[in-house]
Amino acid sequence: MPRPPKTEDWHLEAVQLMARTGCSLREAVTELQVEIGNEEAALILRRASFLRLLWEARHRYFAELAKDPNFSQDSVIGKLIVLAQKLEESGAYDKAGEVLFKISKIKGWVGPESQVSVFGELSQRDLDAIRKKLEKDSK
């Protein structure tokens, strides 16, 4: 029979902090000024009830981000630009270039959707008629 979940008040605050900032349990308890030892922290992190709380907190946070009215294509592109700059600063030039290329695709600057046909909606019959007319005019 599994142990009953052992949840303390600071656990809820810790998982919220961990979900929002991506910090570790050790960093969260330091921020919350809770005194626990390394062994106790390791036990808490292995506890299924704590992991479930953390999973739920992360998903609530992600859902909150997705529903934010300020979340738009422009904000995503801005975040990608910041990440590309960080990659470039760390020396990962090829990965930074890939991110910038993906931004170009999102903006419609690159790819098949940005190619414009100079012939528009002309059929092969239309093109043949134009060719014949040009040949006749040049003679």
Instruction: Say yes or no to pLDDT of 81 above 70.
Output: yes
| Same domain for 39 and 81 | no
Given a contact cutoff of 8 angstroms between Cβ atoms, the answer to whether 50 and 15 are in contact is yes
pLDDT of residue 124: 86
Instruction: Say yes or no to pLDDT of 126 above 90.
Output: no
| Same domain for 77 and 61 | no
Worst-scoring range by mean pLDDT, 16-25, 65-74, 108-117?
A: 108-117
Domain that holds residue 121: 72-139
Q: Which of 100, 62, 105, 94 has the alpha carbon at shortest distance from 81? A: 100
| Same domain for 136 and 77 | yes
pLDDT of residue 116: 61
pLDDT tier, 127 (very low <50, low <70, confident <90, very high otherwise):
confident
Angle at 17 between CA 79 and CA 90, to 5 degrees: 40
The total of structural domains in the chain comes to 2
pLDDT of residue 123: 83
What is the rounded average pLDDT for all residues in the chain? 87
| Same domain for 85 and 139 | yes
pTM over 0.75: no
Instruction: Say yes or no to pLDDT of 96 above 60.
Output: yes
3 found inside a domain: no
